[in-house]
Structure formats: C-alpha cells, structure tokens
Amino acid sequence: MCDLFGIEFPIFQGGMAWVADAGLASAVSNAGGLGIVAAMNMPGEALREVIQQTRQLTDRPFAVNIMLMSPHVEEVAQVVAQERVPLVTTGAGTPEKYMAYWISCGIKVIPVVPSTAVARRVVRNGACAVIAEGCEAGGHVGELTTMALLPQICDAVEVPVIAAGGIGDGRGIAAAFMLGATGVQVGTRFVVCHESSAHTTFKQKVLSAGDIDTITTGRRLGHPVRALKNPFTRKFAKLEWDNAVSDAELEAYGSGALRLAVQQGDADRGCFMAGQIAALVNREQPAAEIIREMFSQAERILSEGTKWVV
C-alpha cells in the first residue's frame, strides 16, 4: 500500500473539515504518512489556494478529501483535476459521477465506504482502494462498527482496504491489520497534534473526554454525526427527538456549528466532532511522533503478540 501511494507509513490523516488544512496535511506527509486536505464546503478557488499552499510545504504525496454533500462539489471536482492532485478521498456519499473523469486525469480515487454495497460499486467504477469507516468515527458516520464492517469489506473487494473509526494507537492498527486492512486512517488523534490549528478549547475537550462522552445526532436528517456531548449536541438531540422543529429548522440549527468549535472553541454553540477513541488521546504531540509511535507499537504487537501491553 505504501508503494501504491508513495508513502512510508500506512497511516492516513482524516480529512476533517476546518482542521485538515495545508499545515496539518503537509506535516503528516512530511512525516511519511498521507496528509489529507479537506475541501469540505470550500468554493473551488479557495481549495486551489490550499492545494498550492500545501505544495509549498511538502514535496511528498498528499490527498484532497471531497465531501460530496458540499454545495461546491462540482467546482472542487474540477480543481483537483486541474491541480493534478495525485490522490482523492471522498466522504458523505458515493463519487461515481466524478470517477471516470478523475481517473482519466491520473488521479487515484479512494472513497470512504460505510457498507459492502457501496464498496463494490466504487470498486467497479475504478477505486484503487477503499476506506472502511466504522461508526466509532467522529463526524458523519454510517451504521456499522469498524470491527464488523472491516472484514466484510475485505471479503467484498479485491483492492487494498484502509480501516477508519476508533483507531487511536498501535493496538488499533494491529487489530485493523488482523481484520484484513493494509492501512489505517486516523482523525481524532491528529486533531490534537501540534500542527493542528484546532482551537485550544477543542483540543482540551478531546484530551479530557471519557469513553461515553460522544453522541450521534442528525439521524432523523439522514446523516448522523458523532460529536462530543455539550450544550449544542444535547439541544440538537432534544429538538430531533421531540419532533419540535422541521427538518429544515434542525439543519439550520446545526449549520456553522463545526466551524464555531474548531475556530472559536465555542463550548456552548460549537459542534466538537470527535470519535469514540477521544478518551484514549491524552497528549498533544507532533504529527511525526504520533505516526512513529503508533506504527512501532503496532509492529511490536504484531511480532510479539498481545502480551505486549501499552
């Protein structure tokens, strides 16, 4: 997998909206992992600038994550091709519509998939690998857990499978490899790395989170999102389950809340998207240290067996 993507360690950094910028992606790529820039809801020209900024900071491969629910998806789909980005990951939908075009431009496409049906579809359309993301992940999630999803995806497709959701240390990497993955994607742990520009309050909240401190909201809208419990998510859950507001009002209530969390650290009105593994993340470290530490821990577990305890 490392040869396929031109990286040293089989570790992808999640394409987290507002967090996965040029600074974070280049730090991860420079450390030998795969840095990923999030296109999130950006217009095309804003993404072009971030891609060019990333190129100034690293000469190693990096990817752009395209969030398929973005209102600017058509534009950003063009920009990644014009800018000759080597790798594209996608999320929050299926990218079939763009795949033939991207592949014809020499882009390797690696969609996030929440089910075997979606995995088969994207591979039929030319995906060179897939990211099997379980619902332990932060942000927009599917229904299945990583533990159940991963081996099923590995059986369903012939391309390399990258595991995501609930992976925060070497034990997670080793477990993912045991289930058939050849790489992992890590989100929450990179939110608190030195090179992440997430607000200090966001980092503190992840660092102090306990095992049951996340909640999924938004199921009624068809796109459940996992985030840390706080006044925002509690109110969202209440509005959602009391059926007190229309779907449009509920959408409007959530709009902009992630940005408030990442950029302003707004503890009450922000949506602090994070995975269930947040409880395991208890230190802010450089990205390079996270990658080396996770990988060497996995190697020790895989060679010495589970008697090796963290």
72 lines the binding site for ligand TUI (CB under 6 A): no
H/E run at residue 201: helix 200-208
Question: Which sign, positive or negative, has the C-alpha torsion 299, 305, 308, 310?
Answer: positive
Q: Does 92 bind ligand TUI (CB under 6 A)?
A: yes
Distance of CA 212 to the CA centre of its chain: 20
Among 120, 223, 229, 300, which residue sits at the site for ligand TUI (rule: CB under 6 A)? 223
Least distance in angstroms from the C-beta of 179 to ligand TUI: 18
What residues have CB less than 8 Å from 90, skipping those under 6 apart?
A: 65, 66, 67, 68, 109, 110, 111, 112
Of 23, 32, 93, 168, the one binding ligand TUI (CB under 6 A) is: 93
94 binding ligand TUI? (CB under 6 A): yes
- Residue 127: CB minimum distance to ligand TUI, A: 12
Binding of residue 166 to ligand TUI (CB under 6 A): no
Closest to 63 measured CA to CA, from 197, 273, 76, 74: 76
Exactly one of 32, 33, 139, 160 binds ligand TUI (CB under 6 A); that residue is: 139
- Contact between 235 and 269 under an 8 Å Cβ cutoff? The reply is no
Work out whether 225 is an interface residue with ligand TUI (CB under 6 A). Answer: yes
The tokens describing 12, both together, are 């992808």
Report helix, strand or coil for 62. strand
Q: What is the Cα–Cα distance from 273 to 229, expressed in whole angstroms?
A: 9
Residue 270 touching ligand TUI (CB under 6 A): no
Residue 92 or 163: the one with the smaller Cβ distance to ligand TUI is 92
Nearer to ligand TUI, 19 or 179 (CB): 19
- Contact between 184 and ligand TUI by CB under 6 A: the answer reads no
The shares of helix, strand and coil residues in the chain, as percent rounded to the nearest 5, are 45, 15, 40
Task: Tell me, by CB under 6 A, how many residues bind ligand TUI.
Answer: 18
Q: Which of residues 14-33 bind ligand TUI (CB under 6 A)?
A: 17
Binding site for ligand TUI (CB under 6 A): 17, 67, 69, 91-94, 112, 114, 118, 133, 139-142, 223, 225, 273
